[in-house]
Structure 1
Amino acid sequence: MIYLNSIFLLLFVMFINIASDPGNFFQFYCCINTFLVSDIVSAKLQNKVKVFCIILSGKNYRHSRDDHQKATWLKRCGKYVFASTVNDPKYPHVRCHFDNGYEYSFTKIGNCFKWVFKKYGASYDWFFKVSCLHYVIMENLSMFLMNKDPNKDTNYYGFQAQFKDRHRPNVGFITGGSGYVLSRASFKKLVTKGFTSKKYCKVLHRGLEDQYISECLAKLKIFPVDSRDQKKRLLFIPGSVSEFATPHTFKQKSFFMQRAVHKLENGMAYLGNFPISIHYTDANMMYVLEYLFYHAEVAGIGSIIRSTLDHRTIEAQANEQVKYREDRDMPIRNTYLKKCNKIVFADSKLGVPKKDRYLKVRKAFVKAYRKFGDDFDYFLKMENNSYFIFDNLRQFLMSKSKYEDHYFGFPFKEEGKSNYMSGSGYVLSKSALKKLVTRGFPNKKKCKPPSILGLHEDLEIGQCLASVGIKISESRDKQGRILFVPLSANEFLFPENTEQKKKINQKAVYPFKGNENELSNFPISFHPMTKDMIYSMEYVTYVAEIAGEMSTKSVSKHEITREVNRGLRNIRKYARKLTPIEKPN
C-alpha cells in the first residue's frame, strides 16, 4: 500500500465547516491490454448466451434515439431489430403496425414477435424486449442468464409490478419499463400457441403491451419471477439511473415504488452491482453510461467478482445531517467528499458579500494556508456542483513532486492575460499556495485588491499566480487526453457541437470536439453537475460494474488467454451466487 498525498479542499457553499475522512490509503495498477481482455470476455459471453434484442420504437425516433443505442450498447447484442411503423433496413426497422403511440404497443410488439420468431426463433436462446429509451449492459444480462435453461417455458424476467385491476392475474407482470426476457421455449409458446388463440391472447387494436403480454403469458402458465440479485437489489431498473440512485423520491420512481411486488427503497444501496437495464436514458446519458462503463476507471478499484470470491467485503456509510443544504451540499457529502482528507466551506460567514467570489476565495485560501498549510501537500478549489473522482486525482498527483510549484486544472486563455484554470476545479501544490498567500495577496501590484467587486475569480487567481511565477501545469494524461472536464459528462460526451462546447472552445487552451476518445480513462472531475447526476456518477463509477471487466489487472500479450479464461471462470462462479443453476425440464 502507498501513503497518499494529502489533499485539502476549498468548496463554495453557505457556511464554514471542517470535516475529515479516514481514507488515507489506496492502491493502483498499470493497465496493459486490459480492454482487449474485456472485449474477448464480452465476445465469449455473447457466443455462450445468445440473446436477440427487440426494441420498441417508431419512425420518428430513428435519429433522436435509435442512432444512439446503435452507437453504444446495441453493438454488444447478438442480433437486434426495431419494432416500428416503417421498414428501414439501415437500422433495421421492421413495420409491425401502421400507428405510432404507446397505446398501440401490444399489437406492434405482437406482430414483431411473430416476425422475429419466424426468422430467428431457433437461432437464439433468449429474447429481450426493451424500448428505444433503454441502456443495457449485455455482459451482465449474459451472466444473469448463464445458469438458466432456455428450454424451460415457465418463467420470464424483469422488474415485477402489481396490477391495479383486481380482475387481472394476481401474479403481477414485468413492466416494459425494465425490459423483459423470454426464454426460447417461452417465446415459442407465446407466438405459436398464445397469439394463435383468443383463449390465451386478446385481439386488440389498442393496448399496453407489457400488461397484455403478461396476461397471455399467465394463461400459458409462464409467470414473472423475482429478478433481483442475491442481496435483493434491482438489476432491471425501470427508471432513469439519476432517479433511482438518489435518496430522493420522484414522481416516476414513486409510481414504481407503489406498484412494485417486492419492496423498493430509495438510493443506490438498493441497486445491484451488476445492473442489466436502465430505462428513461436519453441520448446524452447513453454516451455517459457507455464511457463510464466501458472506458473510464477508478484507480485502485478491482472487480467485486474477484473480491467476493476472495471473501473480502467493503462497506462505506455516510450520515446525513439536516443542516447541510439539500440542493448542493447533501449530494456531494453523500458521495465523493467522503474521500477527501479535509474540507473547508467558503461562504458569506467569512465576512464577504455573497456574490463577491474573488474576495471569498482569497479569504478561504488565506485561512487554509494559515491553519493547514504545513499539513497538506495539495489544495483543491472546486464548486459544489462538481463531481470529483478523488482516487484518480490522487493517482495523478502521485506522479508529481509535491515540493514543486504546481497549478493543475483545465486551462483557459484570454487576450492580454496569463492562462488560467477554470470550470472543473483547480489544484495548487503546498509551495504554490504559500507563494500565492505570502507574496501575491499582500502586493496590490501582483494581485488586484479585494476592494474591487465583481472580479472573475478563476481568472484573477490565475493572474495572481502568474505574478509570483506560477504558470499553469500540464494537466492532461500521457496521451494528451482531458482529466479535468469543464462540462457535465452528458454534455461533453454527446456527439454534437453544442453551444456550450462552442463557448468553452473559444477560450480553451486545448479545444476539443467532445467524445469518449478525448477523455482520459482516469477522469478526475466534471463540472457542472446536477445533484441527481452526482448520485448517478457515484453509482456507475463506484458501485455498478460489468461482468468480465478486467480494468485493474495488468497483463502482457502472452497472458491474455490465461486472463480471459480466469475471467470467464470467475463469472461462472459469481453467476452461481447470483442465480442457482436451473435443472432441465
Structure 2
Amino acid sequence: MNSIGCRLVFISANTVVVVVVMYVAAFLLTSKTRVMTLVGNEDQSKFVQIRESRSNDTGGSSTMYDDDAVARELAERVRVLCWVMTMPLTVQSRVKYLKRTWGRRCNKLVIISSVANEEYGIVAINVSEGRNHLTEKTLGGFHYVYKHHFDDADWFLKTDDDTYVIMENLRYLLSEEDTNEPIYFGHHFKAINKYDYSSGGSGFVVSKEALRRFGRAGNDSKVCRQTGTYGDEAFGECMGSLGVQLKNSTDKFGKSRFHCFPPYNHVAGALPSWLFRYDKNGIKQGVDSLSDYVISFHYVHKQNMDTLEYLLYHARPYGINHRLRDLNQH
C-alpha cells in the first residue's frame, strides 16, 4: 500500500456498516457500496486536534471548506444548551472525546458530575453515583441548569457522556418548534406508569417553557419522584405531571432520529427484545429505518466518537453535493 504521511488501515466489517449508515444520514448517498480506509486512531486524533486549532467554531459545521451558512444561521437562531451527565471514572475515557467532537457545537456545554474537575470544566452537584441514584442525578442536573443557565439558551439537551449528537440536525428538528410551548423530544418510549417518556441514553431536549415549569415545581415530591433508578422514566413522569408533552421525533417518513444504541446495532438489527416492546413508534432496523437527518446514537465510546466526527464532517465522496431536504413533520 502507498504511504503519504500517515498510515492507512483497512476498517473492520462492523465499521463498514457504520460508514454506510453515516454516509446515508449525512450526505444522502445512493446505496452503492464503497470500500473505504480510515486514518488510524492515533493519527486521526491528531487530525481532529489540528482541525480544532484552525477554528474557533462552536456553532456550525467543523469542516474547513464547506458552505455551512445554514448551520451557522441555525446555531444563532436555535440556541441549545447541552448538559452532559458523567461520573469521575469516565472523564478520561468519554468526556475528553465528546468535548473535542460534537460538544463544541453546542451553544453552551455544561458537564455535571458528583465531583468537580477544573481541567475539563466539570461542575459538581450533591448526589451519589450509581444506578440507584439516577433520578436524583437527572433531576439535579436540570435543577442546576435552571438555576445557573436558564437565560443562556432556548432549548436544553440532556445526554450521557457516551452519546454522540449531530447538533445541526437537532437544531433543524427544533427550528420549526416553539420553545415557549411545554414540549420535549427524544427516543419515544411507551408509558410504564401514566406518561410516555424518552430514553436517557439517546438524549432528550426540553423547551424553555418545559424547563421553566420544572424549575418552579420539579422539586415537589408530590409532583415529581425525587429518588430511585430509571432517571429517564422518572423525568418523563415529572414532565407529564407538569403538563409537558413528549412529541414525536421521527421524520415525515417515520424514520428514527434519536437512538439508544450505536449505528451498527440499528443497521444490523442487533437490538435487545425490550426495545421492541417499549418503543412507541415501532422500532425498525436497517439503513432505511434511519432518518437522513439522524440526531443521536448512544454507547459511542472513546475513538468511536472521533470516527463519527471524521465520517460526518471530513470524509467526502468526490463530486456529490449535499442537497437540503424538508424532512420535518408538519
* TM-score category (smaller protein): 0.7 to 0.9
- Does residue 543 (structure 1) correspond to residue 322 (structure 2)? The answer is no
Residue deviations 1:323-360 (CA, integer Å, cap 9, x gap): 99220111111111111121222221312111212112
- Does residue 331 (structure 1) correspond to residue 108 (structure 2)? The answer is no
In structure 2, the residue matched to 1:352 is: 127
3-state DSSP of counterpart to 2:178: coil
**Taking structure 1 as reference, are residues 539 and 506 closer, same or farther at Cα in structure 2, changes over 3 Å only?**
same
Query: How far has the Cα of 1:414 moved from its partner?
Result: 3.7
Residue deviations 1:67-92 (CA, integer Å, cap 9, x gap): xxxxxxxxxxxxxxxxxxxxxxxxxx
Alignment of 1:250-269 (within 5 A): none
**Taking structure 1 as reference, are residues 303 and 369 closer, same or farther at Cα in structure 2, changes over 3 Å only?**
closer
Structure number with greater Rg is 1
In structure 2, the residue matched to 1:478 is: 252
3-state DSSP of counterpart to 1:327: helix
| Structure 1, unaligned runs of 5 or more | 1-157, 161-227, 239-278, 308-322, 555-585
Query: How far has the Cα of 1:302 moved from its partner?
Result: 11
- Does residue 424 (structure 1) correspond to residue 208 (structure 2)? The answer is no
In structure 1, the residue matched to 2:282 is: 511
**Taking structure 1 as reference, are residues 522 and 233 closer, same or farther at Cα in structure 2, changes over 3 Å only?**
farther
Query: How far has the Cα of 1:367 moved from its partner?
Result: 1.5
3-state DSSP of counterpart to 2:152: coil
Aligned mates of 1:467, 1:333 — CA distance in 2: 34
Aligned mates of 1:480, 1:330 — CA distance in 2: 34
- Match among 163, 166, 187 for residue 410 of structure 1: 187
Alignment of 1:38-187 (within 5 A): 158-160=1-3
TM-score, length basis structure 1:
0.42
Residue deviations 1:168-189 (CA, integer Å, cap 9, x gap): xxxxxxxxxxxxxxxxxxxxxx
Alignment of 1:156-555 (within 5 A): 158-160=1-3, 228=4, 232=5, 237-238=8-9, 279-282=10-13, 284-297=14-27, 325-348=91-114, 349-355=124-130, 356-422=133-199, 423-442=201-220, 444-448=221-225, 450=226, 452=227, 454-494=228-268, 497-498=269-270, 500-552=271-323
3-state DSSP of counterpart to 2:280: coil
**Taking structure 1 as reference, are residues 384 and 303 closer, same or farther at Cα in structure 2, changes over 3 Å only?**
closer
TM-score, length basis structure 2:
0.73
Aligned mates of 1:371, 1:301 — CA distance in 2: 27
1:382 touches 1:425 (CA, 8 Å); kept in 2?
Answer: yes
3-state DSSP of counterpart to 1:345: strand
2:63 touches 2:313 (CA, 8 Å); kept in 1?
Answer: no
Aligned CA-pair RMSD: 2.6
- Percent identical pairs in the alignment equals 27
Query: How far has the Cα of 1:507 moved from its partner?
Result: 0.8
Query: How far has the Cα of 1:303 moved from its partner?
Result: 9.0
Amino acid across the alignment from 2:300: M
Aligned mates of 1:456, 1:342 — CA distance in 2: 26
Aligned mates of 2:173, 2:97 — CA distance in 1: 24
Aligned length in residues: 262
Amino acid across the alignment from 1:491: N
Residue deviations 1:215-244 (CA, integer Å, cap 9, x gap): xxxxxxxxxxxxx4xxx566xx22xxxxxx
Query: How far has the Cα of 1:375 moved from its partner?
Result: 2.7
Residue deviations 1:233-261 (CA, integer Å, cap 9, x gap): 66xx22xxxxxxxxxxxxxxxxxxxxxxx
| Structure 2, unaligned runs of 5 or more | 29-58, 68-88, 115-123, 326-330
1:293 touches 1:540 (CA, 8 Å); kept in 2?
Answer: yes
3-state DSSP of counterpart to 1:374: helix
3-state DSSP of counterpart to 1:441: coil
Amino acid across the alignment from 2:126: G
Amino acid across the alignment from 1:350: I
Residue deviations 1:311-330 (CA, integer Å, cap 9, x gap): xxxxxxxxxxxx99220111
